[in-house]
Amino acid sequence: MKKTHIKKGDLVKVLAGEDRAKQGRVLEVDRDRSVAFVEGLNMNKKHSKPTTANPQGGIVEKEGPIHISNLMLIDAKTGVPGRVGRVAGKDGRLERVVKTKKKAAK
């Protein structure tokens, strides 16, 4: 399994593709394939046959995978996207923080 900077439940921004610049919550992360499923983004249509559970059948829309390299974590406090870093917390354990650009003083 590969290490990822995105976890389930994170708020992310899409950097590339059809859904570029859109935001959503991560529903699932597949670390073997390096993809994440983001709520409401990269929607795919799947045609389903009638079954006992769904006697009507029809077209079902569900989220498709987005490669992790095309996602950027959004800071929950400020709402600004940035890179992920790790900093030692008060109890000595590593905590994830979002590194955002700071405006240079003129």
With respect to residue 6, please indicate whether it lies within any of the assigned structural domains. Answer: no
Query: Residue 50 has what pLDDT?
Result: 94
Residue 54 near residue 48, CB atoms below 8 Å: yes
Q: Which CATH number goes with the domain that contains 87?
A: 2.30.30.30
User: What is the tens place of the pLDDT at every residue in 37-68?
Assistant: 999 999 999 999 999 988 999 999 999 999 99
Q: What is the mean pLDDT of the chain?
A: 91
Our count of domains for the chain comes to: 1
Please, which residues have CB within 8 angstroms of residue 13's CB and are 6 or more apart in sequence?
21, 22, 23, 71, 72, 74, 81
Residue 35 in tokens: 């993809």
With respect to residue 104, please indicate whether it lies within any of the assigned structural domains. Answer: no
For residues 99 and 30, what is the distance between their CA atoms, to the nearest angstrom? Answer: 24
For residues 104 and 69, what is the distance between their CA atoms, to the nearest angstrom? Answer: 27
Query: Residue 89 has what pLDDT?
Result: 87
With respect to residue 5, please indicate whether it lies within any of the assigned structural domains. Answer: no
With respect to residue 24, please indicate whether it lies within any of the assigned structural domains. Answer: yes
Question: What range does the domain containing 23 cover?
Answer: 11-99
pTM as predicted: 0.83
